[in-house]
Structure 1
């Protein structure tokens, strides 16, 4: 129990430090759900749930910056909203100070490449809560692609692939366009379809999808506030 209490205290501290840095930078407010250009939630005949979001453009960010962000999402920084003289906080909490818990690199790349967040062929764990008190996420992800155009990973549970999340991005006049697509469900014939219709809806329903849409819009919108100063100091991260 004491260890759990300590974890809660550390999480609270990280969230408050991240919020303080964002407030100091004048960017504590999230983008609203209405900022998205287009959203859609649908379920296929086999029970797979599809959630699609065409985000507002991420201003002041390039595709290469976006790739670097995902590659380093497990790192920490001393950015305090103005300079780099503050206390240590995680990139992940700066991205969403209210909902994020942690991202943990679990394995290195296929050839031993270091994994500081996500890396093609490597596994990472994500822990977060949608809108702080709703659905909890605690899953292992296998990154299948991460480059200057796309970041895709598979969601693994009980040795099975139970979902896929794809992010695509490209240059625009003011930054980048950003599209996120989530598939929840198994594509294994018969067994997977039964799982999709009768088990997964208890874990990830259309209501959960609505919570995820809000969360994803908030964290994606936050990118333009925190990524430019961190990327400018990228040579200082070892």
Structure 2
């Protein structure tokens, strides 16, 4: 299905449905935190199963498409299991290749391979390292709450060490503030889609 003709079957959440915080830290390190509106009618185990089976397909309208494309029909381009976990599949120790464009904009395109350093019923943590040092981390945590599953996303850009400030400078050029804001919109939209997609998989 072509990117420009792919339907969007469910409403996309607006940015003001979540609480968003931007923080700057020493040595050009940045952090963005998104506290999402609860996912009504969704359980933490269903969210875990979603991430464990991202390589699968699902019915979306009248078609069967990749789950990753259904997750955000406008921005997602490709997902692949670049390296299986030691025990196989999409689990801790695996590497995910993620290709997407925030807001559908070419200047906000990413094509990255992240290591899955955590994946359990409480959340997922995706990390990039340089010579063993963490330079990028995206962590999603989720838990059961009175209004549904409580979901928080935290994006950390940059290394903590002062000696790696030049690396952090490069990261600010590759992932500028405008791109971070576009990612916030993208993330709020895709997380909100889980409220609609997961019930169809029961």
TM-score when normalising by structure 1: 0.78
1:160 deviates by 6.1
Coordinate RMSD, CA, aligned: 1.9
CA contact (8 A) 1:41 1:206 kept: no
Structure 2: distance between partners of 1:41 and 1:16: 34
Residue of structure 2 equivalent to 1:131: 103
- What secondary structure is seen at the aligned counterpart in 2 of 1:131? helix
State yes or no: 1:213 paired with 2:194. Answer: no
1:165 aligned to which of 138, 152, 177: 138
For structure 2, the 5+ residue unaligned runs are: none
Structure 1: distance between partners of 2:112 and 2:161: 19
Change (3 A) 1:33 1:224: same
Structure 2: distance between partners of 1:70 and 1:211: 22
For structure 1, the 5+ residue unaligned runs are: 1-9, 233-238
Structure 2: distance between partners of 1:164 and 1:148: 19
Structure 2: distance between partners of 1:154 and 1:11: 30
1:158 deviates by 8.6
Residue of structure 1 equivalent to 2:12: 30
Q: Which has the higher contact order (CA 8 A, sep 6+)?
A: 2
State yes or no: 1:114 paired with 2:114. Answer: no
1:209 deviates by 1.1
1:172 deviates by 1.4
Give the alignment of 1:1-238 within 5 angstroms: 11-12=2-3, 16-17=5-6, 19=7, 22=9, 27=10, 29-36=11-18, 38-77=19-58, 79-81=59-61, 86-111=62-87, 113-115=88-90, 119-133=91-105, 134-156=107-129, 161-190=134-163, 192-196=164-168, 198-230=169-201, 232=202
Moved over 4 A (4+): 156-160
